[in-house]
Every structure is written in C-alpha cells, then in structure tokens.
C-alpha cells in the first residue's frame, strides 16, 4: 500500500511535458516575420492578426495565379526581398491557381527531437468560405555525411494531419513517432500545407508535445481475502 501511495505521489509531482515548437502561437517576431518560422511571402503567406480576436496567426491564400506564385518565390531568394505586388483576380474553374498545382506550404525552423519519443501534434485551424481540408506535416530529417554541409539534412520520416476545417476555429491533433522506425532522425520541421479548393486558410497554436512515458506497473498486491 505504501509503495502504491509513493508511486501516486511521484506521478502527481512529475512535470508536464513541454511543447517543442518555438513560437507555435506566432505571437513573437519582427519585420513581418514570426520568430522560428520562415518569412511569409506577402502574396500567399502572411503573418497577421487572427480572426475572432485570437492574437496573431498564419494566413495562407491559395486563390492566387500560379504564375504569380512562382514569380514571387524567385523574388524571395533575392537580397533584399522586394515588396510583394497585389495578386490579380482569378476566374473559374481556377485550375491555373496555385491551389490546383503546387499548393502553398509554410515551415517551421529545425526542431531537435529526443530519440525514442512519440509526440502529439496539435494545431488550430479555420477557413473562409466553406469546408476545406488543409494538412499539417511532421517531417523528420537525418544527416547524410555524403552530401555538402548545407545539404546534409534529408527527409526520412513523414506523417501528416488532415484538418477538416470550416469557418470556426477548431483544434486538430495526431500522434507521431519520428524515430520509431527511423532512429537516425534528429530533427523535425512542422510544415503547414494548404491547396484545393482555392481560398483562405488560417493556422494558430501549433504544438508538438512529447507523449508521457508509460507509467510503471503498480506493485503487486499481497494475497488477502476477496472483497
């Protein structure tokens, strides 16, 4: 009995697992870029005020002509990056939009993970103009020493969360285990991805939290009378 009580006390005192995504709420940043995430392009990706008073978030617009999207990606590689131009109107059936081909992705910085751990991915999402199903990927990377230093990190693990989103903020979640079958994975990136149908998507509160380790078995009970 005493051993069981001691276990319960230790379990209650154990600290909560910590989210490993830096700035997953998108509240910190400067010069138009949230800390620990890639620079928004100002055409399809935006760091902006969230609808319904939720602070700041990431907005993705896939109702953009594909040619304009590709031109903007080339501009993003320049120094300094030129200001984004307003998008042109699109027309039905909108097969020529970025939604119909590449889609739009937005990535976190590298996140170092612990070997042998599972994680719970959570994200808040909503859309404008009806139901849509964006995805949020967890991609795991290992280091390939055969490649040049700046290209050594390569994808070896991938799992995605489908978000059946609509006009209301909702939280979606999944569990992933980046090192279970790929133990040489050392880093992950969380990659938000929106595509078809063309429209506006909003993302906030991205969290990747280690799953609590399995509790040790309770000590065996001493033989006694049946209740």
Phi, psi of 17 (to 5 degrees): -65, 145
Domains and CATH numbers, the chain: 19-210 (2.60.120.260)
Query: In the structure encoding, which two tokens stand for residue 65, read together?
Result: 């002509």
How far apart, in whole angstroms, are the C-alpha atoms of residue 217 and residue 126? 41
Q: Nearest CA to 56 among 208, 212, 176, 202?
A: 202
What is the structure's pLDDT at 16? Answer: 66
User: What is the model's pTM?
Assistant: 0.86
What is the structure's pLDDT at 213? Answer: 67
Residues of the chain short of pLDDT 50, as ranges, are 1-14, 214-218, 220-227
DSSP 210: E
Radius of gyration of the chain (CA): 22
6 contacts: CB under 8 Å, gap ≥ 6: none
For residue 75, count CB atoms less than 10 angstroms from its CB and return exposed for 0-12, middle for 13-18, buried for 19 or more. middle
- pLDDT single digits (tens) 112-148: 999 999 999 999 999 998 899 999 999 999 999 999 9
Query: Any idea which residue has 């991609």 for tokens?
Result: 139
What is the structure's pLDDT at 17? Answer: 82
Residue 198: CB atoms within 10 A of its CB come to: 21
Q: Euclidean distance between the first and final Cα of the chain, in Å?
A: 16
Q: Nearest CA to 138 among 125, 156, 124, 150?
A: 156
Q: Nearest CA to 129 among 61, 193, 205, 53?
A: 61
């Amino acid at each position: 009995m005493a051993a069981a009580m001691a276990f319960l006390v230790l379990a209650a005192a154990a600290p909560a697992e910590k989210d490993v995504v830096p700035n997953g709420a998108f509240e910190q940043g400067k010069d138009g870029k949230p800390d620990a995430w890639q620079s928004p392009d100002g055409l399809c990706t935006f760091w902006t005020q969230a609808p319904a008073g939720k602070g700041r978030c990431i907005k993705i617009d896939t109702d953009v002509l594909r040619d304009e999207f590709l031109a903007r990606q080339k501009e993003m590689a320049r120094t300094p990056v030129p200001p984004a131009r307003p998008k042109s109107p699109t027309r039905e059936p909108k097969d020529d939009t970025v939604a119909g081909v590449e889609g739009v992705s937005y990535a976190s910085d590298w996140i170092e993970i612990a070997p042998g751990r599972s994680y719970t991915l959570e994200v808040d999402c909503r859309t404008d103009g009806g139901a849509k199903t964006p995805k949020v990927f967890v991609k795991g990377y290992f280091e390939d020493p055969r490649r040049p230093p700046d290209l050594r990190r390569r994808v070896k693990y991938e799992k995605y969360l489908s978000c059946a989103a609509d006009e209301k903020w909702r939280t979606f979640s999944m569990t992933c285990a980046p090192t279970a079958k790929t133990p040489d994975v050392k880093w992950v990136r969380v990659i938000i991805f929106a595509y078809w149908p063309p429209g506006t998507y909003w993302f906030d509160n991205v969290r990747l939290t280690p799953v609590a380790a399995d509790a040790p078995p309770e000590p065996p009970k001493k033989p006694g009378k049946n209740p």
